[in-house]
Amino acid sequence: MTAVHYIGGRWVAGEGVDCITVYDPALGQPFAELAAASVAQVDQAIAAARQAFPGWRNLSAAQRAGYLKGFAEQLEARRETLIALQMQNNGKPHREAVVDIDDAVATFRYYAALAEKLDGQQNRDVLLSAPDFSAHTRFEPVGVVGLIVPWNFPLVTSAWKLAPALAAGCTVVLKPSEITPLIEQAYGHIADALGLPVGVLNIVGGKAEVGAALNNHPGIDKLSFTGSNAVGVQVMRSSAAHCRPVTLELGGKSAILVFDDCDLDQAAEWIVAGICWNAGQMCSATSRLLVQDSIADALVQRLKSAFEKLRVGNPLNGEVDMGPITSQAQWSKVSEYFDIARDEGLQCVTGGDVQRGPGWFVNPTIYADVPVVSRLWTEEIFGPVLCTHRFSREEDALALANDSRFGLVATVISADLVRAERVAQALEAGHVWINSIQTVFVETSWGGTKGSGIGRELGPWGLAGYQSVKHITRCVG
């Protein structure tokens, strides 16, 4: 088997029992196979990270910033190859794959800039109330961190974790998804090209066994996980058993609130982007449309037309608006929700079925006037499925939007910016857009409330998640 795991600065073949088959979802056909890492190889990766930690943490932050800049430059140099792989393994349209690479590059550049400032922030004096004492502050890395990333935005989610972890002085064991295990290997090749110190970055691929071995390992000082709530619960339990910090970025069932003073055509564009980008496979998908009743019929008709005009197809065969669902299992899950909708008697405006034939395609779907007790209204589907519900008053819209066990993101569309800001502040979510597509900037935070997770990524908050604050106090009297 090919050497696909990066442990202690070496590429090694997997020794695990699982064979990982990598698929092109637009064809439903495999194009690569690799052997998963073993539990023993997870141990080796953590041991390598522990051995590398003292040297890496003791480098100046400016030196670490130099490596982060190198990651950004090397990603740029590999951009066409990485774009093609995102299109083939994830089924992303070309423009979406480009955004992914640009996002990863921007993330490494941002944290390189933050790292350059870290040395000057160390050992700053604290003003104390007692004149006989002095104190100063240090920001130190939490240690060896495990990073478990999902399949819907590979390379991107790993950049959001890897860049701040390295900037802080942590060493890393990264586990990519078994559905998209190839693209994160670029980080190992970049580490080789840059001469990154051995053991600072380790990559072990595999299925649940590898993730569990990493999650349960006593040699990990922090674990950052992005994925399902079910697995997030397991991660949190293990972290509690080891009494170590955890960052969790989990599910969502986000609302988009549309008021009757909006431009209907512009609103329709933002709504389509919020549910059909990445074929709806986003924890941030605004899958619950709350629309003021006076414009509901007109807006739904515009959305029906827009959905039916979307070009759905293989991104490698030409320009498309939406590609396939990334895995057969997820395709089947979306199909099951179409069955649930029929059983519940929901009003299907358009779509409501999967495409038969090569590849794992589904038709972009709208259900109108969905009851709030419907499973499609309350459960995360992870596909291009939009549920609409009417409201009359602002307070009703807020109550409906906040009536969810999730709280990741939301969008507000209104020409009244005072109202839009008021509503945004009242929404129980970690990130709210006003009159915009879901543009994510590395300078802002990412993360949610309630069942959507714990902690924040991106911005200075992402860096702080990998730092431990130390105060040194001494008597000077």
Q: Which residues are catalytic?
A: 249, 283
CA distances from 132 to 135, 229, 412, 474, 476 (A): 11, 50, 54, 9, 5
Instruction: Sort strands 406-407 and 347-350 into parallel, antiparallel or unpaired.
Output: unpaired
d(CA 389, CA 288): 8
SS3 letters across the chain: CCEEEEECCEEEECCCCCEEEEEECCCCEEEEEEECCCHHHHHHHHHHHHHHHHHHHHCCHHHHHHHHHHHHHHHHHCHHHHHHHHHHHHCCCHHHHHHHHHHHHHHHHHHHHHHHHHHHHCCEEECCCCCCEEEEEEEEECCEEEEECCCCCCCHHHHHHHHHHHHHCCEEEEECCCCCCCCCHHHHHHHHHHCCCCCCEEECCCCHHHHHHHHCCCCCCEEEEECCHHHHHHHHHHHHHHCCCEEEECCCCCEEEECCCCCHHHHHHHHHHHHHHHHHCCCCCCCEEEEEHHHHHHHHHHHHHHHHHCCECCHHHCCCCECCCCCHHHHHHHHHHHHHHHHHCCEEEECCCECCCCCCCECCEEEECCCCCCHHHHCCCCCCEEEEEEECCHHHHHHHHHCCCEECEEEEECCCHHHHHHHHHHCCCCEEEECCCCCCCCCCCECCEECCEECCECHHHHHHCCEEEEEEEEECC
* φ, ψ for residue 58, nearest 5 deg: -85, -5
Q: What tokens were used for 191? A: 């580490």
Give the CB-side neighbour count of residue 462, counting CA atoms within 13 A: 29
